Structure 1
Amino acid sequence: MTKISILGCGWLGLPLAKNLILKGNAVNGSTTSENKLSILKDAGINPFLVTLESEGVSESIQNFLNESEILIIDIPPKLRVDNPDSDKKVFVEKIKNLIPFIEKSTVTKVLFVSSTSVYGDNNDFITEETIPNPETESGKQLLLTEKILQGNQNFETTILRFGGLIGEDRHPVKFLAGKENLENPDAPINLIHLNDCIAIVEKIINESKWNEVFNAVAPFHPTREEYYTQKAIEINLATPKFSSEKTNIKKIISSEKIESILQFSFNLENY
């Protein structure tokens, strides 16, 4: 049995924790909401109220990390759209404040959930060898955080860069439905389903693939117009309308490394 701490039991972290428990692991899980502590406990997770701030970390962090071998960090930057300048480096500072506690704990391996947004919108076939060039503030902070974690010699860190996240209750077509004059009709999609996210994390842990960087995007890349039009029809939503005059992004994120090294097969029926 492996003891694992999951920092951030949200959309991905909670079902991931449940899956790891089913596989015989012990899981500490964190939330920033007192109301969610009972949900975690009912799921068999040892619950902790943990907050990271740019000024410090809540006292519960030591008990949260206690006796764990693996720490999974799954917290988004959550930058404010109305004033992004005020949020510059805030996420990075939060992680910097966390690191001394990791160093003092029993944690020897860290899995950091990042995003393919670190690559920006280059018109390229993108692999893990592609030099990141983030354009958004959140992408920039994720990349800085990746470098800080992988540069620390006190623990081994694997970076997992997910594409657009989808699941039964989460799909971008619900946001795009009925909208008009949408950009990039010919841009390929780069998505990953929640079930594949969980299965990949489990593979990394079981096969001890540390000090790695993995892109995690399903090898399924129809155009935005093709895919979202079809999805809208399938679930009886108004079809989105795209403008052929607004197109410039053609990037495809490759998951060849994750398929090869982890011998992982995506379940394309979910897409």
Structure 2
Amino acid sequence: MTDNQRVSSEIKSISVMGMGWLGFPLGKFLAKNSHHVKGSTTTAAKVKSINEAGAKGYHLALPNLDNSNNFFETDILIISIPPSIKGYDEVINALLKQVIQHNIPWVIFVSSTSVYPNTGGLVREEDAEDIASAHSGVRLLEVENLFRNNPEFDATIIRFAGLYGPAREPGRFLAGKTDVKGADIPVNLIHLDDCIGIINKVIEKEARGQTFNACAPNHPNRKDFYVKACKSLGLEPPRFNAEPAPFKIIDSGKLMNNLQYQFIHENPMDDL
């Protein structure tokens, strides 16, 4: 167990809204380390696997959360649901209602670095803009502010960069593509292990009311990274043209300094 994966001695009740690619291993880790964990899923058949992972599974049919039993009776609510889901705004409003109704003291909201424009340089937490995500169309800064600015509870926002790890091998992202722009731009990625480690560190440090960027500190260039990523999986690498592409470099300095967080996967190239 690394320093980033040690948990505080105080046992907490933690509800994880969304036991998906990130939420499931996160819930399993927290349960293994003596927290009382509840995990939600929209798939009834998945409740059994959540229970087997050491958490208590709940089948919640979004966006109606009024019949959630005691899922929202918790010290911490972690919201890990993708903005791409149908009716995302309605789900967020339903969650806010439940947080206030159940007097949940602390919400950890999983956000994205899509809140930053392509500046051609470093972007820090204060550089976020009210722009729509290119992937989901959701204006995530507006959603963050619904939690950040609510006086009824504390909220911590974690903006993750591009996610990779088991079942999300980056070599599959651009495999076989042709005429790809931006060969020399830096990539912004974070491994699943660090996503879990960072959320755990936020809980351990009681880092309430803060916003953090979460991205590996090393940013290899796009061509070198994705060509190697494809070759490592035996896939056809992408072919890049000479055209530049807009970019940004996510700075996680605040996270590393304030939480004393040491990345497990500092350089995505090392995982290929």
Query: What's the TM-score once normalised by structure 2's chain length?
Result: 0.89
5+ residue gaps, structure 1: 81-89
Q: Is the CA contact (8 Å cut-off) linking 2:17 and 2:80 kept in structure 1?
A: yes
Deviation track 1:18-37 (CA, whole Å, cap 9, x = no partner) reads: 10011110101000001111
Q: Is the CA contact (8 Å cut-off) linking 1:62 and 1:101 kept in structure 2?
A: no
Q: CA deviation at 1:60?
A: 3.1
Deviation track 1:118-172 (CA, whole Å, cap 9, x = no partner) reads: 1133323100121324243636432211000111111100000000000022123
Deviation track 1:31-51 (CA, whole Å, cap 9, x = no partner) reads: 000111111111111111113
Which of 210, 223, 226 in structure 2 is aligned with 1:225? Answer: 223
Distance 1:133 1:183, change over 3 A: farther
Q: Is the CA contact (8 Å cut-off) linking 2:16 and 2:40 kept in structure 1?
A: yes
Q: CA deviation at 1:249?
A: 1.4
Deviation track 1:244-265 (CA, whole Å, cap 9, x = no partner) reads: 12x2213100000111011111
Which residue in 1 is equivalent to 2:77?
71
For residues 139 and 201 of structure 2, what CA distance do their matches in structure 1 show? Answer: 26
State the SS of the aligned residue for 1:4.
strand
Aligned residues: 257
Which residue in 2 is equivalent to 1:193?
191
Give the share of equivalent positions with the same residue, in percent. 38
Residue 144 (1) aligns with residue 142 (2): yes
Q: CA RMSD in A?
A: 1.7
Which of 255, 260, 263 in structure 2 is aligned with 1:258? Answer: 255
For residues 193 and 71 of structure 1, what CA distance do their matches in structure 2 show? Answer: 22
Q: CA deviation at 1:62?
A: 4.7
Which residue in 2 is equivalent to 1:93?
90
Which of 14, 38, 41 in structure 2 is aligned with 1:31? Answer: 41
For residues 135 and 251 of structure 1, what CA distance do their matches in structure 2 show? Answer: 16
Q: Is the CA contact (8 Å cut-off) linking 1:69 and 1:106 kept in structure 2?
A: no
5+ residue gaps, structure 2: 1-10
Which residue in 2 is equivalent to 1:167?
165
Residue 60 (1) aligns with residue 36 (2): no
State the SS of the aligned residue for 1:18.
helix
Counterpart residue identity of residue 124, structure 2 = T
Distance 1:241 1:32, change over 3 A: same
Which residue in 2 is equivalent to 1:85?
none
